[in-house]
Each structure stands twice: as C-alpha cells, then as structure tokens.
Amino acid sequence: MNDSNRKSGQKSRAQQAADLRRLIITSVRKIIDKEMAYLDPSFKITDLSAKIGVNRTYISRYFNKELNTTFLDYVNALRVQKASNLILSGRRFSLTTICERSGFSSGASYYRNFKKFTGMTPLEYRARNI
C-alpha cells in the first residue's frame, strides 16, 4: 500500500488483522465469558461466528493460536468450572442437575470433561471437597 492510500484512510493488512483480532477478543469475552453462552448445551463455534459476524475459521484460529486450546475445550473448561462451583456451593444438587446447569448436553460428556480438566470424576471431586 502506498502513502496516498494510507492518507486516504485505508488500513494496511497488519492494521486490519489487528482490528479483527481485537474484535474477536472482545466479542469472545463478552459472549462466552460475560453472557455465559457456554451454558447453552447446543452452543457451537458457528453460533459464536454468527454473533460476531466473523468467519468461523478466524475464530478457530484465535483459540488455537492465541489461547493454545480448541473452542470446544475452552467452552468445556468453563462448563467444568461452573460444575465445580455448583458442587462446592454447599447445596446438594444432584449430579444430573449440575450437568444440566453447567451446559453439558449429556452425562457422558459431563463426566468425560470433568475428569479431563480436574483429574477426577464429579463424585470423587465432591467427596474430596465437601
């Protein structure tokens, strides 16, 4: 890009990439973290992509390169964190209720991810922490 293009308000590729990165970062924080979209069991990367208005490939690349994780692992880690908080809340929720309130679509997914991120099953976690 030459100087006349920059002066006329056109952004360089690097500026455009930086703007896109900022948009993705702020949107991910808003939609996933603050709005807790991860509590919807059907929440997918395509949903996030549609809400942000950015191709899913860019969002996937953000998770992979910037956060060193996949979209699904990021979402499931937040779900496990929510489940852990519910277990530790002192209320005697059933594990099925915790599974549902944490955004998991199935008990199998809940158990598998809980074990993956904590190193123990939900029952073991409850027994060790309550």
Per-residue pLDDT of the chain (130 residues; tens, 9 = 90+): 445 445 556 788 888 888 888 888 899 889 998 899 999 999 999 999 999 998 999 899 999 998 999 999 999 999 999 999 999 998 889 999 999 999 999 999 999 999 999 999 999 999 999 8
CATH classification for the domain delimited by 74-129, as one of 1.10.10.60, 1.10.1040.10, 3.30.479.10, 3.40.50.300: 1.10.10.60
Sorted by where each begins, the domain ranges of the chain are: 12-70, 74-129
pTM of the predicted model as reported, rounded to 2 decimal places: 0.85
> Which pLDDT score is estimated for 14?
87
SS3 annotation, 64-108: HHHCCCCHHHHHHHHHHHHHHHHHHCCCCCCHHHHHHHCCCCCHH
> Which pLDDT score is estimated for 1?
45
